[in-house]
Chains A and B, each alone.
Chain A
Amino acid sequence: MSTCCLSPQEERIANTAMTDRRGRERVYTILERNQFSVPHVDIERALYFTRSMQQTEGELLTLRWAKALRHVAENITVYITPDQLLAGRVGKLGRYGILYPEIDGDFYSEVMKDLPNRAKSPFRISDADMKILVEEIAPYWEGKTYHEHLNQVLPADIRGVTYHDERGLKSKFVVSETSSYRSALQWVPDYEKVLKRGFLDLQNEAKTKLAALDMTNSRDVWDKKPFLQAMIIVCDAVMIWARRHVELARHMAAEEGDLRRKAELLRIAEICSRVPALPARNFREAMQCQWFVQMFSRIEQKASAIISNGRMDQYLFPYYEADIRSGVITRDEARELLECMWVDMAQFIDLYINPTGNEFQEGYAHWEAVTIGGQTPDGEDATNDLSYLFLESKRDFPLNYPDLAARIHSRTPERFLHEVALTVKDGSGFPKLINDEEVVPLYAIKGAPMNEALDYAVSGCTEARMPNRDTYTSGCVYINFASALEMLMHNGRMLHYGNEVIGLETGDPCAMRTWEEFYEAYKAQHLNLLRKAFQQQYVVDRLRPMHFAAPFSSVMHNLCMENMQDLHEYKIEGGVDYSYFEFLGYGTVVDSLAAIKKLVFEDGKLGMAEVVEALRANFENHRPVREMLKSAPSYGNNDPYADSIAKDIDRLTQVEARRCSEERGIHVDVRYVPITSHVPFGKVVSATPNGRLAWTALSDGSSASHGADRKGPTAVLLSNYHTKNYGMTNRASRLLNIKLSPKCVAGEEGTRKVMDMIRTWCDLKLWHLQFNIVNRETLLAAQKDPDSYRSLLVRIAGYSAYFCDLSRDLQNDIIERTEHGDM
């Protein structure tokens, strides 16, 4: 492949000085002050939360949580970032992360000291803060965290595939729970409701309900009353916190010498005295209100991927349109406000204390998805001028926040698609695309009202949420099916774990005479892990409500308010529970099975003993075996030989998921979205029969194994399509990455080809698609000279990260993905 042209992102990096900053002086100033520094830990949230929780033991958890949030709101330092137009952050200036000791407080003393030095995503912490953490915060939580509870109650056979140490700190990376290093799955609150009503009105709703309770009814007295009290308190909490910014802004204005900044601060004070208590009246108030809601959501809990922004181009549009029409704001001013939000969003890091959690999403990953495009609840196209403004901002301002997601449907206007394609070509990987033609009917048929399904927001990495209908919040189980394959090859064992029997002892594969016999044994290993995973998840679902509450999320959720139940409760009437589990190593498993079927059982070119021996030796001195295995039919080439195996594995997984769903009365769906976890999960898997070397990354999501997709991007899409089992519904998102070289997409003609590809992807009803348009040479150069490539963004599994923030492993992984040039 030759480097014939650079993507605009690469050009910007090559000539940093030439970046056009006109109209963006403010956001560049804020960005450059912070963006490339090592982040620090801010402990205030953890401290005030803990102090309050110490005072409220024995009360309803939702009420305790609300009181704790109020205590945090009253005491946490309030900030207005210098030069910012939006008030509010929950930690000191610079890139920062905050702590949630209710999740992991029990092992701070062991782990925190390593934080500044760890190789992946290090953090700074002051000695004084460290002392408070270890001496005041951690001791309270010892014996109380959810993670300890889970570790205690998991039965031995499930524990054995879950953890690799007594305390449950180290994952086994076989059937991994992810519920113990986050409070909840990714989430989208109903921002629109807050913009329209304000928290005073939401609080009044709770007060009215409280007044109407029957004090002779036990449920009313013991469940609903404290719940509603919690709602009232949490509304107070967010309003108190917002009000404190009024005083701060006025104080800062009084001290400010620069007249322009002084005026800005006074305007901030005025806006904060209005929202989020009262309805927003204009675009500036709406933006500030939204920002307060998302920042306070961060204080409430550690949702996976932080907190998503919902359909911003929809709920902000009425304010934007009115302000533009009346001349209150210009389009450039609106864009500046959005970008002000992005730069402060970028400073908040999703800090993982748990070493396993950190492995799952490295690169300081967080992705507060912003959804644009798609359809209205009536099924009309929803694109508006704000949708275009978001795309323009993303093209011209090289920042990986927010994670922009465009909803595409069969009638997406050509202009929108064109601007999406232009933005994709820009090279930073945004926007990712989510397909209405897959998500909407699937969500509707699984029980959501059609108008709400049409109104879904992209959430977290690739998921979709209906803010007043979704009610499932447990972190999902990650299943390493490449390990099932390894257990098949080594009679229930994994070389990494020595002689421990982890899976089923299906016997010596060399004794298996037919492909059918071999495949049956694989399926037994596969189902064994799947069943253990479902059992594990059930325990998770049952335990979480004892440890986590979310009064702030609940007050914004229609069903929580109707039923007077916390969002984290096990079941909420009227809710849909779309839970999922993660399939790791799809391509690895499929390619390995196809290779064995073809070479051992059909062509007889290799003996099983030869393969097993080569795997044990990690192919050392067995290069010909490895090369033959690599050249077997593989997933990602639209080859029915491999794809039929892939489809069958997806099918049997869904059949079992369906059985589990019926048992539990919720939807349990298979998902193929590893974030970055295919790297750590690969580290426990020895060599596999697709020629993959021991301890290297597994295949990524529903993408092909590294370098195995040799037929170009159309074949990648078609393989995905042909393996999907559209007749079944126990499926969730499938992450699909396609990397194109800039040459493929050069010029207006290239833009057209990207649009064509997106249209066809939409026709194929694939869930997700993201493009990565960079040159291999660029990535190699960035490895050699990271300082010159600090701002190089790459796509990893649903979000973009700075390439140089990633570990060497993951960098190599990205480089190895087949680049679909067109020579």
Chain B
Amino acid sequence: MKDSDQKGYVFNIQKYTVHDGHGIRTMVFLKGCPLRCAWCSNPESQHLKPELAYDEGKCLGGSDCRRCITNCPTSRIVEVEGLLSIDCDICDPTPNCAAGCPTGALSVYGRLVTAGEVLDEVEQDGVFYARSGGGMTVSGGEAMFQPEFALALLRDARRRRINTVLETCGHCSEGALLEACGLVDGLIFDIKSMSAERHRLGTGAGNELILRNFGNVCRAFPDLPITVRTPVIPGFNDSEEDIRAIAAFLPKRARLTYELLPYHRMGQPKYRFLSRPFPMGDAKLDPSVMPRLRAVAAAR
């Protein structure tokens, strides 16, 4: 199969991202992730397949609009006291209920697209990449959760002379990751905790594979620019010891930077849309934490 025909699940393509890699970039978010981080700000990224989401804030309600109820082929949407009750998994990648929803209250996270379609959209901003040194950042979910698709994207991007950055949580096939790293111009690699046990509690998986993959990538690609990122999560890794341990683990090499990202709750509404509980509750980051931790990270 041609790379451009390779299909995969994507949940968002975001233009003009300026914080994930060099220059003005377009982020391609691939759906599906092996981890279940409690703090995940993109819960819609976790499962591979498209998901139906319902934002009751946007819903016009049963008195003004009953389109979804009428449109549902299996009568799985009913009105309960002015609000919708949806008792179904998604029946179709473009279900009638979402397609007919006037406000986007019902929508679908994720669509099956070809690498060629993704890159056509990415290339629309080519004139901005040319001036800024930007390009495409492939992210997720976990980009390498769909290794064939991710690799096809990166190979086709290379043919089209699009600068690429891969963002990964590192929990993926070693072979595919190394192949991907041979195709990209930059790598963003998340390291969340040096404690396997804590890592398992926070993300549902240990950190052994992640740390091994990181070491292998560093050895195999000594010249690849790598940004290591740690999301700083209250109660999980927001102590100086946590960050110091990660910083100490990072190899001394020229093209490696270390960034801390403060926890935020911007993803919270999306949990509601997906009828999932928000695992972090009201947890907040102490505002004094970041400056201290950044100092620790900088002292590496």
Chain A residues engaging chain B, CB cutoff 8 angstroms: 2, 605, 621, 623-628, 631, 638, 711-715, 718, 744, 749-750, 752-753, 756-757, 759-760, 763-764, 820, 822-823
A713 CA to B128 CA, complexed, in Å: 11
A443 CA to B248 CA, complexed, in Å: 62
Please state if B60 and A627 are interface contacts (CB–CB under 8 Å).
yes
Chain B neighbourhood of A631, CB < 8 A: 102-104
Please state if B131 and A756 are interface contacts (CB–CB under 8 Å).
yes
Give the Cβ gap from A600 to chain B, nearest Cβ, in Å: 14
* B171-192 near A? 1/0 per residue, CB < 8 Å: 0000000000000000000000
- Asked if A757 meets B64 with Cβ closer than 8 Å, knowing A627-B103, A631-B104, A820-B16, the reply is no
Chain B neighbourhood of A718, CB < 8 A: 124-125, 127
Residue of B nearest to A622 (CB): B64
Give the Cβ gap from B258 to chain A, nearest Cβ, in Å: 16
- Asked if A822 meets B18 with Cβ closer than 8 Å, knowing A624-B64, A756-B24, the reply is yes
Residue of A nearest to B20 (CB): A822
Chain A neighbourhood of B103, CB < 8 A: 624, 627, 631
Chain A neighbourhood of B266, CB < 8 A: 823
A631 CA to B67 CA, complexed, in Å: 16
Give the Cβ gap from B170 to chain A, nearest Cβ, in Å: 24
* B119-135 near A? 1/0 per residue, CB < 8 Å: 00000110110111010
A453 CA to B103 CA, complexed, in Å: 49
* B11-37 near A? 1/0 per residue, CB < 8 Å: 000111111000110000000000000
A67 CA to B132 CA, complexed, in Å: 58
Chain B neighbourhood of A823, CB < 8 A: 266
A718 CA to B127 CA, complexed, in Å: 9
Please state if B127 and A764 are interface contacts (CB–CB under 8 Å).
yes
Give the Cβ gap from B165 to chain A, nearest Cβ, in Å: 15
Interface size on B, residues (CB 8 A): 26
A582 CA to B18 CA, complexed, in Å: 35
**Is B261 engaged at the interface, CB distance under 8 Å to the other chain?**
no
Please state if A624 and B15 are interface contacts (CB–CB under 8 Å).
no
| Interface residue from A625, A712, A714, A757 paired with B102 (Cβ < 8 Å) | A625
Give the Cβ gap from A14 to chain B, nearest Cβ, in Å: 18
| Interface residue from A628, A714, A752 paired with B15 (Cβ < 8 Å) | A714
**Is B201 engaged at the interface, CB distance under 8 Å to the other chain?**
no
Please state if A624 and B127 are interface contacts (CB–CB under 8 Å).
no
Give the Cβ gap from B134 to chain A, nearest Cβ, in Å: 8
A628 CA to B266 CA, complexed, in Å: 27
Chain B neighbourhood of A714, CB < 8 A: 15-16, 24, 125, 128
A53 CA to B117 CA, complexed, in Å: 71
| Interface residue from B16, B18, B23, B131 paired with A763 (Cβ < 8 Å) | B131
**Is B298 engaged at the interface, CB distance under 8 Å to the other chain?**
no
A711 CA to B65 CA, complexed, in Å: 28
- Asked if A753 meets B132 with Cβ closer than 8 Å, knowing A712-B16, A714-B16, the reply is yes
**A-contacting residues, B120-164, CB 8 Å:** 124-125, 127-128, 130-132, 134
Chain A neighbourhood of B125, CB < 8 A: 714, 718
Please state if B17 and A756 are interface contacts (CB–CB under 8 Å).
no
Residue of B nearest to A721 (CB): B127
Chain B neighbourhood of A605, CB < 8 A: 100
Please state if B60 and A712 are interface contacts (CB–CB under 8 Å).
no
Give the Cβ gap from A775 to chain B, nearest Cβ, in Å: 16
Q: Chain B interface mostly helix, strand, loop or mixed?
A: loop
A627 CA to B102 CA, complexed, in Å: 5
Chain B neighbourhood of A713, CB < 8 A: 16
Residue of B nearest to A820 (CB): B16
A712 CA to B132 CA, complexed, in Å: 16
Please state if B16 and A624 are interface contacts (CB–CB under 8 Å).
no
What are 16 inter-chain pairs, A to B, with CB distance below 8 A?
A605-B100, A623-B102, A626-B102, A712-B15, A712-B16, A714-B125, A715-B124, A718-B127, A750-B18, A753-B132, A756-B128, A757-B132, A759-B132, A760-B131, A822-B16, A822-B17
Chain B neighbourhood of A756, CB < 8 A: 23-24, 128, 131-132, 134
**A-contacting residues, B66-86, CB 8 Å:** 67
- Asked if A753 meets B60 with Cβ closer than 8 Å, knowing A631-B104, A714-B128, the reply is no
Chain A neighbourhood of B134, CB < 8 A: 756
Give the Cβ gap from B23 to chain A, nearest Cβ, in Å: 6
Chain A neighbourhood of B64, CB < 8 A: 621, 623-624
A718 CA to B65 CA, complexed, in Å: 36
A741 CA to B14 CA, complexed, in Å: 17
Residue of B nearest to A716 (CB): B16
- Asked if A760 meets B18 with Cβ closer than 8 Å, knowing A623-B64, A624-B65, A624-B67, the reply is no
| Interface residue from A626, A628, A744, A760 paired with B128 (Cβ < 8 Å) | A760
A797 CA to B70 CA, complexed, in Å: 46
Give the Cβ gap from A619 to chain B, nearest Cβ, in Å: 11
Chain A neighbourhood of B128, CB < 8 A: 714, 756-757, 760
Please state if A638 and B132 are interface contacts (CB–CB under 8 Å).
no
Chain A neighbourhood of B130, CB < 8 A: 760, 763
A749 CA to B17 CA, complexed, in Å: 13
* B51-71 near A? 1/0 per residue, CB < 8 Å: 000000000100011010000
- Asked if A759 meets B124 with Cβ closer than 8 Å, knowing A714-B15, A744-B18, A820-B16, the reply is no
Chain A neighbourhood of B132, CB < 8 A: 752-753, 756-757, 759-760
Please state if A623 and B16 are interface contacts (CB–CB under 8 Å).
no
A639 CA to B100 CA, complexed, in Å: 21
Give the Cβ gap from B101 to chain A, nearest Cβ, in Å: 9
Chain A neighbourhood of B100, CB < 8 A: 605
Give the Cβ gap from B105 to chain A, nearest Cβ, in Å: 9
Please state if B102 and A763 are interface contacts (CB–CB under 8 Å).
no
Lowest 10 CB-CB distances: which A-B pairs, in order? A756-B132, A627-B102, A712-B16, A624-B102, A628-B102, A627-B103, A759-B131, A624-B65, A712-B15, A714-B16
A750 CA to B65 CA, complexed, in Å: 44
A749 CA to B132 CA, complexed, in Å: 11
Besides the known contacts A631-B104, A760-B24, 13 further A-B residue pairs in the complex with CB atoms under 8 A apart: A623-B102, A714-B16, A715-B16, A715-B124, A718-B125, A718-B127, A750-B18, A752-B132, A753-B132, A759-B132, A760-B128, A820-B16, A822-B17
- Asked if A623 meets B60 with Cβ closer than 8 Å, knowing A760-B132, A763-B127, A764-B127, the reply is yes
- Asked if A757 meets B65 with Cβ closer than 8 Å, knowing A625-B102, A712-B15, A823-B266, the reply is no
A76 CA to B134 CA, complexed, in Å: 60
Chain B neighbourhood of A626, CB < 8 A: 102
Chain A neighbourhood of B17, CB < 8 A: 822
A753 CA to B18 CA, complexed, in Å: 7
Chain A neighbourhood of B18, CB < 8 A: 744, 749-750, 753, 822
Please state if A822 and B19 are interface contacts (CB–CB under 8 Å).
yes
Give the Cβ gap from B103 to chain A, nearest Cβ, in Å: 4
Chain B neighbourhood of A711, CB < 8 A: 15
A711 CA to B124 CA, complexed, in Å: 12
Chain B neighbourhood of A760, CB < 8 A: 24, 127-128, 130-132
